[in-house]
Structure 1
Amino acid sequence: MSLSSIRSVFPNSHAVAGLCALAVVCGGAVPALAQTIGETLQTTNVVAGSVGGATFVRLKSRDTIYRDEVIRTRSQSVGEFKFEDSTLFVVGPDAEVVLSDAVYGGPGSHKLLSGAMRFVTSKVSPVSDVVVTTPVASIGIRGTIVDLFVEPGSGQTSALLARGGPADVCAGGHCVAITTVCDAVQVGGGGGGGPTAPVNVSQFQGSRPASELFPFAAASYRTRSVFRQGAARCGLSSGRVWNPDILIRDPNRIEPEEHNDDDYSPPSPSVSSPGPSANTSGSNNL
């Protein structure tokens, strides 16, 4: 996130406080003590970040991402990112995520406050590589691809295992392990109990259609291929076409950046899939 790329696109709210008090530079710039944790791979339309309470600024390819950064997207917007340990993640439209505690040598801890997200981790270890918390649940991800969706307002959380496994979903003092590819669980947003029992996504009863809860498994967006795995295996189809000509009409928009999947090699989980063999934030007031 270079100073030359700084452009305000969101009102400043729900950002993580504290770093600005220690920083040399605040406002639209990155606080001086911000810790680099990864980079932006690609953005489509309005994807922005805020560090230490600074103004939200537009992110683009190769921009740095920082510990405690808040990332938001608008409608018809997608952001793809890579952490320094090669873990990948992508956020869908109208999402908010806080990269709250990415500590290498231990699990990274992040907060998904609303919207859709996919994590791709490569290591297999006794403990989770990544822990994602939502308003109602905690999800441990290791050596796998997991899709998450948080319903705005209620915080209702849905999780899908797209490859590898397991993924551990905990809430209300109870934990459920998703071990079968294409199984999904849900944690209610009304203060209810723990996660539901895992079921195949074809039988999943969520807050909205499965293709909307798990748009990356449904290959709804034009992203790197690793972020679209699971569509054939899990039988999800969005029924939509990602057409750049009908993307958000915004005078400050960033056009989708061209990329070549061949110039980037995503991590490959070393666990074999147990499934079929087919390949495949608080506020929304932006």
Structure 2
Amino acid sequence: MLLISGQLAAQTVEGAADPQDAPEVQAELLLLDAEIVESSTEGTALQLAAKQIESKDLSGAATTLERYLITDPESLVVRVEYAIILCRLDDLQAGRFEVAKIAENGLDQPTANRVQAECQITASDMPALKTGEGRVPMRNFRNRNIAILVSGTMITSPLTAQTVGMNSAVRNNVELQQTATGAAQKARIRQPVKMRNVVTTAAASTLQITLLDRSSLTVGPNARLTVNRFVYDPKAKSSSVGTTLVKGTLRFLSGKSARGGRNSINTPAASIGIRGTMVELAVGEDAVTIGKLQPGLVMGGKVDPQTASLIVLRGPGPKAQLGEESGIIDVTAAGKTVTITQPGMAVFVPFLGAAPSAPFQLSNGAYGGFDNMLRTTPSASAPASQQSSSQQSPSQNANSGNTATSTSTAGSGSGAGAAGAAAGTGAGIGSGAVAGILGALAAGGLVAATSTGSDDPVEVEEEDPPVSP
């Protein structure tokens, strides 16, 4: 049974209802809208995430906290809980990056102990992880008993929906077209997203779309994306999602019901089959930018800045908690399929017509490129000159239906800040790897300067062929 409170049910969905949507779709949109409203403040976002964890939905909790951090990058409480959830999903590389962003702000001792245990970090590994009296207190929601609110609707038949989801977080300049040739309109929080809508983001801009099955699509800057297919059967706990990323970066997290369905993402050069997972992609110039930060990846003259595609499996990994099944992706290009089953492994397709490369471990430097485009960073660790003077607080954004205007330093699309961490691979985290992570963030102006990794970005070599399959 899907549950919602009477108070939240009174909220109206932003945007006109589509007459082609079944009543069940409208009911599900109302539930989704209530979740977005519920996660619009720090406390309620943490409570919703705690409720999702209690229902053994770590991926859903990650989506909720990612949503909040897009519009409020300054919340250290949310960020540390987000880092711990990523580590519990066995995405240690991403979790450690988030820890590095908040390390110099300091943590209280119980929270530091949780972070070190879940993300497998020791005090000697990460001396920048400050603790002690007077530090930022973090709340432990992992074992809280959050009451589930009552009354709602059950959907009992598969839905081929005209409306597929809703804008759950918007930062800066994002436009939505009803069709590829339609007029572009400014995207709004809680605005329904429909089949074949085209999403376009500007520089330093981000959009999170949450689908009816609670899968989420986080679209990075300078990107273009379309949802092509969506079939949802809540009774059978399955769904099928198909999207196309023409350019830019994308993070996809499968919803709980989507993990048994047929999900796919197409790029100009590759098709990615997704089985219950978290995956990140870069297409076009962003793929080239991030690829240059991967040691050993040859970026030869045949790399096409329009169609090149870089795909990485983020998790859940084999050590994920609460019964989260390990993610798997199948990358197909030029008639060849490469399957990835380990988080942090990636493949590169240099141009349309090329086969995928052999899988490789994504370096901390290349991961920093994705992080710079798809995630936020608190301004406490960033130069003041890079902060917006018009930044709104979460309370100003809550329930307004307007685009959030948070302008954190992440999402610039440059990827340059990742160069310092090229040496770390995410397989372990000694002091050198942590220094590399902090160096990557410092190079991008995200934290105070520290030592960087020893490997330089891979240079473009015009005469060398692409990495061999």
TM-score using structure 2 length: 0.39
Structure 1 position 255, deviation (Å): 4.2
Question: 1:215 matched to which residue of 2?
Answer: 371
Partner of 1:283: none
Seen in structure 2, the aligned counterparts of structure 1 residues 39 and 126 have a Cα distance that, compared at 3 Å, is closer
Q: C-alpha displacement at 1:122, in angstroms?
A: 3.6
Corresponding residue number in structure 2 for 1:119: 252
Note if contact 1:93-1:116 (Cα within 8 Å) is conserved in structure 2.
yes
Deviates more, 1:123-132 or 1:62-71: 123-132
Aligned AA (1:2): G
Give the strand-richer structure, 1 or 2.
1
Q: Which residue of 1 aligns with 2:189?
A: 61
Unpaired runs of 5+ residues, structure 1, are: 4-33, 224-238, 259-274, 279-286
Q: State how far apart, in whole Å, the 2-side matches of 1:167 and 1:82 are.
A: 21
Offset of 1:78 from its aligned partner?
Answer: 0.4
Alignment partners' CA distance in 1, 2:198 and 2:174: 11
Percent of matched pairs sharing the same residue: 26
* Correspondences of 1:134-145 after superposition (within 5 Å): 134-145=267-278
Cα separation, 1, equivalents of 2:311 and 2:390: 27
Note the C-alpha offset of 1:134. Answer: 0.5
* Corresponding residue of 2:198: 70
> Does 2:223 align with 1:95?
yes
Residue number in structure 1 paired with 2:111:
none
Aligned equivalents of 1:71 and 1:109: distance in 2? Answer: 14
Contact 2:229–2:242 at 8 Å: present in 1 too?
yes
What's 1:80 paired with?
208
For 2:211 and 2:274, the matched residues in 1 are separated by 15
1:74-121: CA deviations, max 9, x gaps? 000000110001101100000000111222255211100000000001
Q: Deviations over 1:11-53 (max 9, x none)?
A: xxxxxxxxxxxxxxxxxxxxxxx91100011111011110133
Query: C-alpha deviations, 1:231-263, integer Å up to 9, x for none?
Result: xxxxxxxx9779541899xxxx944269xxxxx
- Offset of residue 167 of structure 1: 0.9
1:174 maps onto 2:320 in alignment = no
Secondary structure, aligned partner of 1:215? helix
Match of 2:116 in 1: none
The number of equivalent residue pairs is 207
Task: State the partner residue of 1:8.
Answer: none
Aligned mates of 2:377, 2:261 — CA distance in 1: 29
* Structure 1 residues 182 and 257: CA distance shift in structure 2, 3 A: same
Runs of 4+ more than 6 Å apart: 124-127, 239-242, 275-278
* Pair 1:196-2:357 in alignment: yes
Q: 1:49 to 1:171 in 2, by over 3 A?
A: same
| Match 2:313 to one of 161, 165, 170 | 161
Distance 1:90 1:96 in 2: 12
- Cα offset for 1:130? 1.9
In structure 1, C-alpha distance between the alignment counterparts of 2:276 and 2:186, rounded to whole Å? 31
Instruction: List per-residue Cα deviations over 1:203-227 (Å, max 9, x = no partner).
Output: 99xxxx4432x237x874259xxxx
Shift in alpha-carbon separation, 1:246–1:168, aligned structure 2, 3 A: farther
Larger deviation, residues 87-96 vs 54-63: 54-63
Look up the match of 1:30: none
Partners of 2:314 and 2:228 in 1: how far apart? 24
Q: Normalized against structure 1, the TM-score is what? A: 0.63
Out of 174, 179, 183, the position equivalent to 1:47 is: 174
Structure 2: which 5+ runs fail to align?
1-13, 17-160, 234-238, 286-304, 317-326, 392-401, 408-425, 430-469
Q: Secondary structure of 1:102's partner?
A: strand
SS at 1:85 equivalent:
coil
Question: Which of 8, 15, 18 in structure 2 is aligned with 1:2?
Answer: 15
Aligned partner (choices 380, 388, 401) of residue 245 of structure 1:
388
Q: Work out whether 1:38 is the aligned partner of 2:165.
A: yes
Q: Which has the larger radius of gyration?
A: 2
Q: SS of the residue aligned with 2:388?
A: helix
Q: Distance in 2 between matches of 1:117 and 1:246?
A: 28
Question: Using a 3 Å threshold, how does the CA distance of structure 1 residues 177 and 124 change in structure 2: closer, same or farther?
Answer: farther
